[in-house]
Amino acid sequence: MPAVPMSSTEIYADIKARINRGEAGYRSGEKLPTQDELAMLYSVHRATIARMMMLLRHDGLVVGRGGAGTFVA
């Protein structure tokens, strides 16, 4: 039976935990994977990742840099 995809809230919690642990690729100043890469990683639609990214930005965990991507704050 295939795994049930995570919700944007669950993905938010997972990425927040990775940031808090200082996991490689999720350390302060590092560029996060693209939304397409995260969608593939979590097996969800890109729109789910976009909603999760808005939450992360709102909470000050990540910042967008126009044309360069999203980085850990």
Q: Specify burial of residue 57 (Cβ count, 10 A radius: 0-12, 13-18, 19+).
A: middle
Report angle CA 38, 60, 36 to the nearest 5 degrees: 15
Three-state secondary structure call for residue 53? helix
Q: pTM of the prediction? A: 0.86
Domain ranges in the chain are: 8-72
Q: What pLDDT, on a 0 to 100 scale, did the predictor assign at position 6?
A: 84
Mean pLDDT per 10-residue run, the chain (73 residues)? 75 95 95 95 93 95 92 96
Please count the residues of the chain: 73
Q: Which CATH number fits domain 8-72: 3.30.310.50, 3.30.465.10, 3.90.650.10, 1.10.10.10?
A: 1.10.10.10
d(CA 34, CA 23): 17
